[in-house]
Structure 1
Amino acid sequence: MAVTSTTNNHAHGHNGHGNVGLFGLIIGAIGVVFGDIGTSPLYTLKEAFTPHYGLIANHDTVLGILSLIFWALMIVVTAKYVSIIMRADNEGEGGIMALMALAQRTLPKGSKSAYAVGILGIFGASLFFGDGVITPAITTLSAIEGLEVAAPQLHSYIVPLTLLVLVALFASQRFGTEKVGRVFGPITVLWFASLAAIGLLNIGHAPEVLKAFNPVWAVNFFMDHGWHGIFILGAVVLAVTGGEALYADMGHFGARPIRYAWYFFVLPSLMLNYLGQGALLLQYPEAAKNPFYLGVPEWALYPMIVLATMAAVIASQAVITGAYSVARQAMQLGYIPRMLIKHTSKETIGQIYIPGINWTLMIAVISLVLMFRTSTALASAYGVSVSGTMLIDTMLLALVARTMWPKARRWVLPLCVLFAIVEIAFLIANGIKFLDGAWFPVVLGILVFTVLRTWRRGRELLHAEIRKEGIQLDTFLPGLMLAPPVRVPGTAIFLTAQTGVVPHALLHNLKHNKVLHERNVFLTVETLNVPYAPKEKRLKIDSIGGEDFYRVLIKFGFMETPDVPLALMRSCDKGGIHFDPMETTYFASRETVIASRHRGMPVWRDKLFAVMHRNAAPATGFFRIPGNRLVELGAQIEI
């Protein structure tokens, strides 16, 4: 069939946020965008001093690791994501799918290079899904592990409590995030303020730690530890997880509020806390077992555990809603089967709930917690997907800069080389942990990638078979009018993805019912590689074969959710058609896919596509076509 839509009453990007001022957007961005990176202090430094790396918390090692963390934040997050990549917005929208669509617009349609960019972007999105599974598990586990510091006898309750929090979080998604979202900002502001305050308190006891800003300490670390010192980057990368989220959520708040929040509040708070943990280690090297919670004053320990758990839930919420957004984009671009999408807010079109994605994520996250059971074990799995996604972002950024930024590319391309070197080092450092858990996001990414590519390729084969077996409209209509069937009142709308071919539903209707409606419309829905379709390009109506037949094309952007009846009603009388909802019947064909050997894809992929096609939400429901105005007719297609 066709693919996706939504109404265009949005306020996105840097253009229109209604009456919300810059300060309000900054607070909102702190609450949603920085949740993932904001919870990294819970586990980053603790992971660096696990036995896995064999490091001792002495003066030079502590300053070396802190210097690596600071410069990783400056190079990857500040320079790459906040300062440069946010320039590569696709009409205000960000994220790897939007960047992929932007890069493909610079290449000839159907070329090998456009195909390669599509493969790259989809693999990056697959890895991003792996990140989305690990983030809720590791952040929630890390937060609740503070109980072990406060009361070691509660150790056995950590995993059950983590599961309880996660189940409650996923179960509450169907109610929407609008009400909860109002308190996200203030809670996260309190979280970052607490990070900064605790950091300052500890820095006061060992100001020596401020020397870590000097990159010489990072260089000395590698000189002291030799070539295998690169492995520590497997822990350092944990400090920059969430960088992709800054770019992905750009459409909700705009680039300027995110930049201001990062430069003036989030980055200083994070670094103060990391430096505070380092100061604690300089005084008490044995605190390496949990430098975050051991640096908290005793009277504030339980409140901090509660606040950390809330921050973890907010970070998880941001990742979950991000997964919904990426899934909707993938549906629109034709990479995953259509799924039921529920809107949870009447005012904000971006607030959606996709039950299929939600419960899949929940099962994966709970399985992860039960498999790994501690944040330290999970940290081994973390990093590969993040590093891979960041490297793909850099490659796509370089392509966009080379083709679309003639002036800026002189300095952006050399920086892309620097970013790539850093991210390849991160990837190697995390790849070493493959057998310790890094296999999980890699396997998950490959599975997701296989599903996405199988669906995309299967649809291409399906449409090719329909075209091959179809009858051309230009020859069919004149022949039909030579011996016209019985005409009945009303308008018949036939949904078709093939603009020049007679829809199967029309042929079956003529064969079985032997009637033709007064007006007949061949409707195709097209998804553009821009976030929102311009109003003037939303609808195109052409008369074909006389007054009774029309070809209608409705266009939607990849960030939109489709509503075909609404789009048709808004076109009232445009092109000479008036669409009366009570006089309109929609006809759709529901193909049954049959897998066959020696055609198209390997037979196992054909069967996988057939299963996905059978279980996909009907295009009619996806396009919001009312069930009481719909007639579906079946057809078997062999691929």
Structure 2
Amino acid sequence: MSEEDGRMVEADVCQDDGNRGEVEGVVQEEEGDEEEKVSSEDGFGKTPRRVLQRCDSLDIEAPGPTSNHAHASEKGLAWPVVLQLAFQSIGIVYGDIGTSPLYVYGSALSKGIRHEDDVLGVLSLILYTITLIPLLKYVFIVLRATDNGNGGTFALYSLICRYARVGFIPSQQAEDQKVSNFKLEVPSDRLRLACWLKSKLEKSPSAKLSLLFATMLGTSMVIGDGVLTPCISVLSAVGGIKEATSAVTEDVVVWTSVAILVCLFMFQRFGTDKVGYTFAPIICVWFILIASIGLYNFLTHDPTIFKALNPIYIVEYFRRNRKEAWISLGGIVLSITGTEALFADVGHFTVRSIQISMCSLVYPALVLSYAGQASFLRRHSNLASNAFFKSIPGPLYWPMFVVAVLAAIIASQAMISGTFSIIQQSLSLGCFPRVKIVHTSAKYAGQVYIPEINYLLMLACVAVTLGFRTTEKIGNAYGIAVVFVMSLTSALLVIIMIMIWKVDLILVIAYVVVVGSIELLYLSSVLYKFYQGGYLPLAFAVVLMTVMYVWNDVYRRKYHYELNHKLSPDQLREIAARANANSHRIPGLAIFYSKLVQGIPPIFGHYMANVAALHSVLVFVSIKSLPISKVPWEERFLFRRVHPRELNVFRCVVRYGYTDTRNEEEPFERLLVDRLKEYVAEDENWKEGDANEVDRIEKARRDWVVHLVGESEVVAGKGSGIGKRVMVDYLYAFLKRNLRQSEKTFDIPHERMLKVGMTYQL
């Protein structure tokens, strides 16, 4: 609904006295308590809408039934199911952070151990880092910020978009708030800070752009992780063979790693349906082994290493080493690589299951492993560069080597799969060009495979491995990607704390001071190594963000163009009247696709001006992504009738969440027609004609169904600046020429598809 055709009622506004407000979808009259029945034209003509009742700021919109996607609610899950999910999560979530002991000490102490207590300082830093960031921040705080059970950078952004109007596409509809997953809460009069922040975000274009920019940057950095994780994990594991025989050279290690990486990416096409049960036992064995070896080294070499729990050793470490200690933070931060996977992969499990697996197995195993290596280094200070494999007892060396390689491959698999899921999310929100999404699992909706991205990741991984060759150099690049994502997550989380959770300001400040200062300190350290490889993730981010921003910017410009040039109700009636007068009504049903939600796109007028014929039943279909993870199946199709009724013209908005998937066994065309007939049959305002109209729709479907796909070309308008011309005429045009076509999105049969072209001057 546009402003001129029927203003959408939007609210959630905190007024100065704090006693009155509006809820989205709820009308609050200036005077009187009467109920108001609202009618809106919806861009076509008056259509009755539900009675909207007066409501004050103390009311809460009922969340409705729980969504039907997997694990959205934990209350109904029995403990055996939670424990089962906890076991599965070990194989998917923790591969990256679990293999960090392979290279942390080698990166942090790359220049050797200068003082015997330096080991205590480094161990103390590692212990407090993995306690404060993965355990405290992510497991007990960030995991609360899921979007209907899903996590990741886009989940945080979509959560903010639901509570504040900060999106750039004006496609909001009052009906969207009826979707059971929205679960909005109205700020109360006691929480002025939340209202103030919400107002600032909504009124500031720069704040909206900053939020979108931060989301894109975080996404780009996570994709950079998808490149660097396989490189450093596999290279570290394979490098262990050099300890067994001196005949193995660096070249052998590098090329063996490349061969493993190529095989890893080639197997991605088979999917990860059984990844949890397949990989969980291996990762469990890995954690048990590193914990056991760590305990053995702790008892054998130096049991007094527990002194590192005293943070005074951190102070003394920095006092002795100063700049070198600060630089070493870039290696220590590798102990928390893969932490973002805790949040990104929560949609496959539950918050409780991840908390159980982290606290019962992963965290204790990591503590024992790092403590054991530190105990070993207290006696063998000259072996810091390869502390992990050097500290393995002789009889366990080869079994540990095999398990280490398998664990490294699993860690790589987890990040690659995560990259596919993140790109799927950004694609559905209009932030990434069209690519082919292959759903590899009928059980887990988030398990997808993207052929183009898979091959690009493979080439990037091979290039990085051959170019950098050592884990130390790759670690410099890896650290920047890790800390950047964590810092951006913290920034978005602070907004959520204030605006949505409404946390006391003192607690927010405490979080920023403790966690924020630690992450900024690590960020300053990893940026110091910019020229030693740290530029790599930033280079990846620049390329990816350029692609994402160009696509999103032109996507928004196209939408606003269509919104400003859409057909008015009078124009549509005139077109239909000419078709009726000239008997140009073609038997059959036409489905006209466009991105415009609020009306009839201008490309339809272009079509009628050239064809001058109208099908007996016409449905305008708009595909829309809501800022939630999933839309329940029964709430997906939203129909409106175009008046007058005799036109047999309808408009349909098909709503998807950013992790929703299509059912390959259910053709989109059949679903659409079935829902349309249900909508007509349930029309309370014209019951006497419904049966005939349902028959008319079914007859039109049997006669012929044609799919009209609007394909708009865009060019920079006259007088545009050089920046806009480069973006629209060259960069966007290049991306569009090399992408998959839109008809593949909804199983449109080529023999019944007609493309309608039009050029927009933006």
Matched residue, 2:88: 28
SS of match in other structure, 2:586? strand
* TM-superposed deviation, 1:83: 0.7
Q: Paired residue for 1:5? A: none
Matched, 1:315 2:407: no
Partner in structure 1 of residue 155 of structure 2 = 98
Per-residue CA deviation, residues 407-447 of structure 1 (Å, 9 max, x unaligned), is 46642441133111111111110011010000110111122
- Who is 1:458 aligned against? 554
Establish whether residue 154 from structure 1 lines up as the match of residue 259 from structure 2. Answer: no
Equivalent in the alignment of 1:557: 657
Deviation at residue 152 of structure 1 after TM alignment: 2.1
Q: Is residue 12 from structure 1 mapped to residue 71 from structure 2 by the alignment?
A: yes
- 1:632 aligns to 2:755 (yes or no): yes
Contact 2:330–2:525 (8 Å) recurs in 1: yes
Distance of 1:148 and 1:597 partners within structure 2: 64
Deviation track 1:77-110 (CA, whole Å, cap 9, x = no partner) reads 1111011011111111111110111123332345
Distance 1:568 1:57, change over 3 A: farther
For residues 25 and 382 of structure 1, the distance between their equivalents in structure 2, rounded to whole angstroms, comes to 29
Q: Identify the residue that residue 616 of structure 1 maps to in structure 2.
A: 739
Q: Cα offset for 1:276?
A: 0.9
CA distance in 1, matches of 2:632, 2:263: 40
2:629 paired with 1:531: yes
Looking at structure 1, the residues matched to 455 and 495 of structure 2 have their Cα atoms a distance apart, in angstroms, of 36
CA gap 1:167/1:413 in 2 versus in 1, 3 angstroms? same
Shift in Å, 1:482 = 4.0
Structure 1, residues 382-401: CA drift from partner, whole Å, max 9, x if none? 11111111011001111100
Contact 1:494 1:505 in 2 (8 A): no
How far apart are the structure 2 equivalents of 1:538 and 1:408?
A: 37
CA change 1:174–1:332 in 2 (3 A) is: same
Unaligned runs of 5+ residues in structure 2 are 1-66, 168-201, 681-693
Aligned partner letter, 2:96? D
Instruction: Give the aligned partner of residue 137 of structure 1.
Output: 231
Q: Quick one: distance in 2 between partners of 1:190 and 1:409?
A: 44
Q: Which whole-Å deviations, capped at 9, do the CAs of 1:258-307 have from their partners, x for residues lacking one?
A: 11111111011011111111111111112212000011122222221211
Q: Percent identity?
A: 33
Give the alignment's TM-score, normalised by structure 2: 0.79
Counterpart of 1:305 in structure 2: which amino acid? F
Q: Which runs of 5+ in 1 are unaligned?
A: 1-7
| Counterpart contact for 1:592–1:637, Cα < 8 Å | yes
Whether the 8 Å contact between 1:135 and 1:316 is mirrored in structure 2 is yes
Structure 1 stretches (4+) deviating beyond 6 angstroms? 16-20
Distance 1:566 1:235 in 2: 56
Equivalent residues of 1:401, 1:409 under 8 A apart: no
* CA distance, structure 1, for counterparts of residue 126 and residue 489 of structure 2: 20
Deviates more, 1:293-302 or 1:241-250: 293-302
Say if 2:640 and 2:650, in contact at 8 Å, map to a contact too.
yes
Cα 1:79/1:567, change in 2 over 3 Å: farther
The answer as to 2:173 corresponding to 1:78 is no
1:588 and 2:588 aligned? no
**1:197 correspondence with 2:292:** yes
Amino acid at match of 2:277: R
Partners of 1:529 and 1:463 lie apart in 2 by: 17
Are the aligned partners of 1:493 and 1:585 in contact in 2 as well (CA < 8 Å)? yes
Larger Rg: 2
Q: Distance in 2 between matches of 1:421 and 1:318?
A: 29
Q: Which amino acid aligns with 1:584?
A: V
Is the alpha carbon distance of 1:162 and 1:227 closer, same or farther for their aligned partners in structure 2, counting shifts above 3 Å?
closer
Could you list the per-position Cα deviations for residues 499-542 of structure 1 after superposition, in whole angstroms to 9, with x for gaps in the alignment?
45544554454344443111011111110000011445322111
Q: CA deviation at 1:24?
A: 1.4
Among 445, 458, 467, the alignment partner of 1:349 is 445
1:188 matched to which residue of 2?
283
| More contact order relative to length (CA 8 Å, sep ≥ 6) | 1
Moved more, 584-593 or 103-112: 103-112
Give the AA of the match of 1:603.
Answer: R
Structure-2 separation of matches of 1:93 and 1:140: 29
Give the whole-Å Cα distance in 2 for the aligned partners of 1:108 and 1:621: 32
Q: Structure 1 residue 562: deviation in Å?
A: 4.3
- The residue type paired with residue 33 of structure 1 is V
Residues 614, 466 of structure 1: alpha-carbon distance in 2 compared, 3 angstrom cutoff: farther
On the 8 A contact 1:57/1:282 being kept in 2, the answer is: no
| 2:697 maps to 1:574 | no
Residues 500 and 94 (structure 1), Cα distance of their counterparts in 2 relative to 1, 3 Å cut: closer
- Partner residue in 1 for 2:467: 371
Question: What SS does structure 2 have at the residue aligned with 1:152?
Answer: coil
Alpha-carbon distance between aligned partners in 2 of 1:400 and 1:370, rounded to the nearest angstrom: 42
Q: Give the letter for the 1:249 counterpart.
A: D
Q: 2:271 aligns with which of 172, 176, 191?
A: 176
Q: Aligned in 2, Cα 1:96/1:334: closer, same or farther, shift over 3 Å?
A: same
Please state how far the C-alpha of 1:173 moved relative to its aligned partner.
0.7
For structure 1, which segment, 361-370 or 513-522, has the greater mean C-alpha deviation from structure 2 after superposition? 513-522
The letter for the 1-side match of 2:661 is T
**Partners in 2 of 1:427 and 1:435 — Cα distance?**
15
Q: 1:490 and 2:547 equivalent?
A: no
Quick check: 177-186 or 553-562, which moved more? 177-186
Is the alpha carbon distance of 1:242 and 1:591 closer, same or farther for their aligned partners in structure 2, counting shifts above 3 Å?
same
Q: Deviations over 1:139-179 (max 9, x none)?
A: 01000000111112112311111111111111111111124
- How has the CA–CA distance of structure 1 residues 105 and 410 changed in structure 2, closer, same or farther, with 3 Å as cutoff? farther
Counterpart CA distance in 2 for 1:62 and 1:14 is 44
Over 3 Å counting, the alpha-carbon distance change for 1:27 and 1:341 in structure 2 is same
The verdict on how the C-alpha distance between 1:469 and 1:107 changes in structure 2, with shifts beyond 3 A counting, is: closer
Change (3 A) 1:510 1:526: same
Q: Which deviates the most, 517-526 or 400-409?
A: 400-409
> Residues of 1 paired with 2:289 and 2:321: CA distance?
34
Measure how far apart 1:595 and its partner are: 4.8
Deviation for aligned residue 1:355: 0.8
Which piece of structure 1 moves more, 208-217 or 76-85?
208-217
> What residue number does 1:69 align with?
126
RMSD: 2.3
Q: Is 1:605 aligned with 2:709?
A: no
Distance 2:513 2:755 in 1: 53
The aligned runs of 1:288-303 (5 Å cut-off) are 288-303=384-399
Q: What amino acid maps onto 2:104 in structure 1?
A: T
Distance 1:616 1:632 in 2: 16
Per the alignment, in what secondary structure is the counterpart of residue 555 of structure 1?
A: strand
Task: Tell me which amino acid in the other structure corresponds to 2:545.
Answer: F
Cα distance between partner residues in 2 of 1:626 and 1:265: 51
2:325 to 219, 229, 233: 229
Cα deviations by residue, 1:218-242 (Å, 9 ceiling, x for unpaired): 1221222235522211111000111
* Cα distance change on mapping 1:20 and 1:349 into 2, 3 Å: farther
What amino acid does structure 2 have at the position aligned with 1:36? D
Match of 1:116 among 182, 205, 210: 210
Aligned counterparts of 1:348 and 1:569: Cα–Cα separation in 2:
27
The AA in structure 1 aligned to 2:109 is F
Mapped to 2, the partners of 1:306 and 1:638 lie a distance apart of 60
Q: Are residues 185 and 507 of structure 1, via their aligned partners in 2, closer, same or farther at CA, if it must alter by over 3 Å?
A: same
* Aligned CA distance change for structure 1 residues 626 and 19 (closer, same or farther; 3 Å): farther
Deviations 1:36-88 (A, max 9, x none): 1001000001111212xxx4254210000000000000111111101101111
Counterparts of residues 328-407 of structure 1 (less than 5 Å):
328-407=424-503
Distance 1:161 1:596, change over 3 A: farther
AA matched with 2:211: V
